[in-house]
Amino acid sequence: MDFTGILAGILQGFRVTALVTFYGMLWAVPFALCFGVLQYLARGPARAAVTTVIEFWRSSPVLILLFMLYYTLPSFGISLSGMTVGAMALGLNIGGYGSQAVRAALQALDRGQVEAGLALGLRRFDVLIAIELPQALVAMLPTFVNQFIQLVKGTAVVSLITLTDMTFRAKEIAELTYNPVGIYTALLVSYLMVCYPATLLGRWLESRVGIAHRGSREI
């Protein structure tokens, strides 16, 4: 099998890779925003509890999370599909890192803006939604793009729970023909074909958002 054939065979697993990435983002983004904001606002024992949840998902190896969710939960009567497990494990792990970007972006804002909003009679939640988050999102964007790319690359491990992603397809081809150099070079090229356009899109979004943000400040 020539290189083109190997590449085409590996890309047959792109649909699964894309689905795991998409569903993973559905876990990652809400988790990052909710827990990042909670860690920013909470105090005392509540903050400690939020931090514990974040650190569990952020510090746990994705491989262990996959095996725990896929093979251990059925012992407690909870059976999840490989797609659900892959998306959840990857998404919450990435979301744990993303939550720190959210918290850091909010903490970096001038505290005087919050005090001014409260002085105008706005509720704390209104200040967060109307004043803080719109500015913080600009600072979060580069990190979120990087986390998305990390999520795409992280999908390579879902082959271990029998999902036929691109890495799984590479393993199948390796069983049919002994060509490790060609197969894993093609696998590398496959992930590059997926991740590099995301990098370019991220740079474009950063520039557009940065221009819009500067324009609003000038007004």
Number of domains in the chain: 1
pLDDT, position 214: 56
Residue 59: predicted pLDDT: 92
Closest CA to 93 of 34, 140, 121, 53: 53
Residues 135 and 214 sit within 8 Å (Cβ to Cβ): no
CB atoms closer than 10 angstroms to residue 47: 14
Would the pTM of this model clear 0.85, i.e. be above it?
yes
Percent of the chain with pLDDT over 70: 95
Give tens-digit pLDDT for 130-148: 888 988 888 888 888 889 9
φ, ψ for residue 58, nearest 5 deg: -80, -35
Residue, of 2 and 55, whose pLDDT is higher: 55
For the ranges 72-81, 117-126, 188-197, 203-212, the lowest mean pLDDT is seen at: 203-212
Region of residue 30 (left: phi > 0; alpha: psi -120 to 50; beta: else)? alpha
C-alpha to C-alpha distance for 20 and 176, rounded to whole angstroms: 26
CATH code at position 95: 1.10.3720.10
Residues 6+ apart with CB under 8 A from 146: 202
Query: In whole angstroms, what is the distance from residue 145 CA to residue 101 CA?
Result: 12
> Domain containing 52: what range?
3-218
Mean pLDDT, range 28-46, rounded to an integer: 94
Q: Which two tokens stand for residue 190?
A: 């496959």
Identify which of 166, 16, 10, 170 has the alpha carbon closest to the alpha carbon of residue 81. Answer: 16
Is the Cβ–Cβ distance between 109 and 45 less than 8 Å? no
Give the per-residue pLDDT at 56: 95
Q: What is the mean pLDDT of residues 68-77?
A: 89
The span from the CA of 178 to the CA of 157, in Å, is 22
Token representation of residue 127: 């200040």
DSSP 93: H
Q: Note the pLDDT tens digit of each residue in 73-99.
A: 888 888 899 999 999 999 999 999 999
